[in-house]
Amino acid sequence: MTKIQKRQTFCQSTSYPAGTAFAYKIPEGYLGNLNEEQEAKVRAMWTIGFKFIEICEADVDASKNKTLEEQYVPPAKQSRRLPRGASETHEKYPNLVNEILSLLPTTEKNLERLAQQAVESLDNWTPEMYRLIVLRVVKHEHPDALALRFLRTCNWDVIKATTMMGKTIYWRTIEAGVDDDILKHGDGGAAEDEKNNRGIARSLGADFMKQARWGKSFIHGVDRAGRPITHIRVRLHRSSDQSVQSLERYTLYLLELARLSLRHPIETGTILLDLSGFKFANFDLSPLKFILKQTETNYPGSLGLILIHNAPVGLKTIWRLFRVWFDKELRSKVKFTYGKKGLSRWIAPNQMIKELGGDDDWEYTYVEPDPDENYKMNDTETRDRLLAERRELSLQFEDLTKEWVMNAQLSEKARQICDRRNQCVEELAANYWRLDPYVRARSLYDRLGYFRGANGVDWYSSNADEESQQEMLEKIRSIDSCGASHYEEIHDPGDESCYDSD
């Protein structure tokens, strides 16, 4: 690990439940533990973006009077389709691909093939979309951590990772409306639509609230690795209870809330598929299918484990037959568990809810939205001031990143730039938490006091005794200022009652 990589920093939550044995040792390939080749790939991803912005914005005529479609809909998604193999970006900027190829660290011998992949990548971007990464998408996360999720998913192929990220940015902003609709609307907006709207809006609102009130899916607690758990109670799901659009909307809402609960770049999420009381007559795993599809395409690297709990024998047999259809990484994350003993391998008993045989005396109870809970969203003056502050910080990050990628990795100057860049990232995270109540409707987890903004997430504040909290704080203090850990990995004793998928 280089000196620069050791100086990478990330924000660590100080609110963990008693019994959580989080492995603070950062895996290789994550922020804070990159080898020289991996760091070079991160630099290359930013280099592609800034070179793309520089060349596009140098064309003054092309930059003037852009329509919204031209600003945020990349050529690959625009209505005017070019012949197969043609590229609008390449036609406008014929030297762009060659310039980008000269900046990439690659062992690819077929440069013609690599150039074609670069063309495909660039056609999934606009300069304005690149700026949305820091302005809108990363929220409280380090931008490098987001880039690394795509790089790891694409096996460190910079061009493929850039293409995938471009498609995700477009999906978030245009197709799914994650920030401008789903999070801005929230369950408070759905409750209002259910009560006072008409037509499709009223139907979607009622379907959304039905899922929230029944608790078919919810987030609660963390597993032994500190990952937030999304519970899916399959027995409560009936496909006829809501439209496909409502199901997908509610699922995306939960995925985004789970993402907000992540507090450092090595966390992912765990899905607990509770099949207790499940009957094959009601076989419908639509929520899980949709989550898997989204984590594969739009939330890469965000899934840590899939715990299939108390599955009927028949379902386990079906999985053994069809597991070959899934990639090795996904198969390795699927674990079958039975009873409290099996589940306790992955979730500490005092973090396991009573419904699953655990010691945590917690039951899902939906708290209706308060009509006035989103009053800050009406304060557009404060919102706009914080957004302007974020735009300024994002431009600072852009300038510092340009300096960072242009300086030798082991130089003293690069180290100083890295420090200033990480400080800018911390300011961006702090800005997001000040901005959050002005752009995101409050959720159930805000009402219950679990989400605490910049102070992290506390699922078990009433259960953690003072001694356990002090022990966890000591473990957190063992992490040095550069994100390196002196705390040993957790011991996983194994459990013969837990059936792995491998």
**Number of structural domains found in the chain:** 2
Paired strand residues for 360 = 353
Indicate whether 219 and 152 sit together in one domain: no
**Exposed / middle / buried, residue 65 (Cβ in 10 Å: 0-12, 13-18, 19+):** exposed
User: Helix or strand or coil: residue 193?
Assistant: helix
| Nearest in space to 428 (alpha carbons), one of 18, 90, 82, 144 | 144
- Out of 338, 356, 374, pick the residue that ends a domain: 356
**Contact, 208 vs 195, CB < 8 A?**
no
Indicate whether 44 and 160 sit together in one domain: yes
Residue 218 maps to a domain: yes
**Contact, 254 vs 217, CB < 8 A?**
yes
In this structure, the chain runs to a length of 502
Indicate whether 163 and 62 sit together in one domain: yes
| Nearest in space to 137 (alpha carbons), one of 52, 265, 260 | 260
Residue 243 maps to a domain: yes
Indicate whether 342 and 245 sit together in one domain: yes
Which H or E run contains 176?
none
| Nearest in space to 191 (alpha carbons), one of 205, 201, 181, 180 | 205
Could you give the dihedral angle defined by the CA atoms of residues 204, 209, 211 and 214, in that order, rounded to the nearest 10 degrees? -150
Per DSSP, 21 falls in state -
User: Helix or strand or coil: residue 137?
Assistant: helix
Residue 480 maps to a domain: no
Residue 123 maps to a domain: yes
Residue 450 maps to a domain: no
> What is the span of the domain harbouring residue 271?
214-356
Reading the chain (502 residues) residue by residue, the pLDDT tens digits are 443 333 333 333 323 333 344 445 788 898 889 998 899 899 989 988 888 888 888 876 666 678 888 888 898 887 666 666 667 777 777 777 777 777 776 666 666 677 777 777 888 999 999 999 999 999 999 999 999 999 999 999 988 999 999 999 999 999 999 999 999 999 999 999 999 988 899 999 999 999 999 998 999 999 998 889 999 998 887 777 778 888 889 999 999 999 999 877 677 889 999 988 776 655 666 777 788 788 888 998 888 899 999 988 777 777 777 777 667 777 788 899 999 999 999 999 989 999 999 999 999 999 999 999 999 999 999 999 999 999 999 999 999 999 998 886 677 888 899 999 999 999 999 999 999 999 999 999 999 999 999 998 998 754 444 444 444 444 433 333 233 333 333 333 333 334 444 4
Which H or E run contains 45?
helix 36-58
**Contact, 187 vs 208, CB < 8 A?**
yes
E strand map for 65-153? none
Paired strand residues for 33 = 30
Paired strand residues for 231 = 218, 272
Indicate whether 247 and 340 sit together in one domain: yes
Which H or E run contains 433?
helix 412-439
What is the domain-level CATH number for residue 257?
A: 3.40.525.10
The gap from C-alpha 34 to its chain's centroid, in whole angstroms, comes to: 20
Q: How far is Cα 379 from Cα 399, in angstroms, rounded to an integer?
A: 31
Number of neighbours of residue 98 by Cβ within 10 angstroms: 11
The 3-state secondary structure of 265-282 reads CCCCEEEEEECCCCCHHH
| Confidence at residue 473, expressed as pLDDT on a 0 to 100 scale | 41
Q: How far is Cα 452 from Cα 193, in angstroms, rounded to an integer?
A: 27
Q: pLDDT of 382-394, one tens digit each?
A: 999 999 999 999 9
Indicate whether 115 and 224 sit together in one domain: no
Residue 478 maps to a domain: no
Per DSSP, 178 falls in state I
Q: How far is Cα 204 from Cα 245, in angstroms, rounded to an integer?
A: 8
Longest CA–CA span in the chain (Å) reads 68
Number of neighbours of residue 130 by Cβ within 10 angstroms: 21
Indicate whether 115 and 226 sit together in one domain: no
Indicate whether 326 and 242 sit together in one domain: yes
Q: How far is Cα 453 from Cα 296, in angstroms, rounded to an integer?
A: 28
- Out of 356, 376, 395, pick the residue that ends a domain: 356
Indicate whether 221 and 163 sit together in one domain: no
- Look at the block and give the residue holding tokens 């003037």: 64
Residue 304 maps to a domain: yes
**Which tokens is 344 given?**
């306790």
Q: How far is Cα 419 from Cα 3, in angstroms, rounded to an integer?
A: 12
The gap from C-alpha 345 to its chain's centroid, in whole angstroms, comes to: 25
For residue 210, what are the contacts with CB-CB under 8 A and spacing of at least 6? 241, 242
Residue 19 maps to a domain: no
| Confidence at residue 11, expressed as pLDDT on a 0 to 100 scale | 34
Q: How far is Cα 447 from Cα 431, in angstroms, rounded to an integer?
A: 22
Instruction: Read off φ and ψ for residue 51, nearest 5 degrees.
Output: -65, -40
Indicate whether 146 and 263 sit together in one domain: no
| Confidence at residue 111, expressed as pLDDT on a 0 to 100 scale | 66
- Out of 319, 339, 356, pick the residue that ends a domain: 356
User: Helix or strand or coil: residue 227?
Assistant: coil
Indicate whether 255 and 330 sit together in one domain: yes
Indicate whether 34 and 130 sit together in one domain: yes
